[in-house]
Amino acid sequence: MIKKNSLVDQVYEELRNGIISLRIPLGSRLNVNELQDTLQVSCTPIREAINRLQQEGLVTYENNVGARVLNLDEHDVEEIQQLAMTLHREAIRLAMEREDHAVLLSELEQHLSEYVDAETVQDEVMAVNHLVGTFYHHCGNRRLDKSMISIQGQQLLLRYIFATYRKDRKSEADFAPLIQAVRESNVEAACRALQQNADGNTPVILDYLRKRNANG
């Protein structure tokens, strides 16, 4: 049950995690009255949490319908990936220009180890999030970091879909080219490696969406 302190934050995290992990299905309606019964809190923190999720792009609002979890199609996935990679490239460039590469390598290798050792999809997804986030933490541009946070939920959702439905096993090789590029101080190669990783994820995500839409 939800504790009574910091209700908005707790309701937000509960709903956000449910959406990202697909426990709350894409396109499903968020009924405030039902959520009150489930979470045993009043409608006010639920509405505030839903508003935050709407700002993050994980929830949409329709007149005469109310709040719904976002739905995704091929165009949505393309737009999310394009925007994320635009931000990633700049974070990588800034971080590699201003930070000691030994520091970057140490943190990247730590998160890569967490990724390889992850025993759950959630741990795997968060390890990737932390790995990519390393560049943001060292880029020295708070506005860039804030811009990424605004679409982070959508990125985590895509990564969760990929991690859940991929057919091959995760391995260190998934991010080895990125680590090697940082080791060689090659910004373009690092950007290219992360782009190739995203490109490899996309077919799995689109296949899931097609099958889901076909099944109604």
Confidence of residue 172 (pLDDT cuts 50, 70, 90): very high
30-67 b/e (C-beta count within 10 Å ≥ 16 → b) = beeeebeeebebeeebbbebbebbbebbbbbeeeeeeb
Residue 5: per-residue pLDDT: 52
- 2 token code pair: 């939800």
Residue with tokens 């708070």: 142
Residue ranges of the alpha helices (H) in the chain?
7-20, 32-39, 43-55, 74-98, 101-117, 121-137, 142-165, 176-183, 187-214
* Each residue's pLDDT tens digit, 10-63: 999 999 999 999 999 999 999 999 999 999 999 999 999 999 999 899 999 888
- 33 token code pair: 């009255």
Q: For residue 208, tell me if it sits in a domain.
A: yes
Assess whether 132 and 179 both reside in one domain: yes
Q: What is the 3-state secondary structure (H, E, C) of 62-73?
A: ECCCEEEECCCC
Mean pLDDT of the chain: 92
- Highest mean predicted confidence (pLDDT) among 6-15, 75-84, 140-149: 75-84
Residue with tokens 């690092």: 190
* Boundary (domain end) residue, out of 44, 69, 94: 69
Residue 2: per-residue pLDDT: 53
Per the structure, the count of domains in the chain is 2
Assess whether 148 and 161 both reside in one domain: yes
Q: What is the CATH number of the domain that holds 210?
A: 1.20.120.530
- 213 token code pair: 């839409």
Residue 99: per-residue pLDDT: 76
Q: What is the CATH number of the domain that holds 43?
A: 1.10.10.10
Residue 21: per-residue pLDDT: 94
Q: Provide the greatest CA pair distance for the chain.
A: 56
Q: Mean pLDDT, to the nearest integer, of 80-98?
A: 95
Confidence of residue 68 (pLDDT cuts 50, 70, 90): very high
* Boundary (domain end) residue, out of 24, 43, 69: 69
Residue 63: per-residue pLDDT: 81
Residue 6: per-residue pLDDT: 82
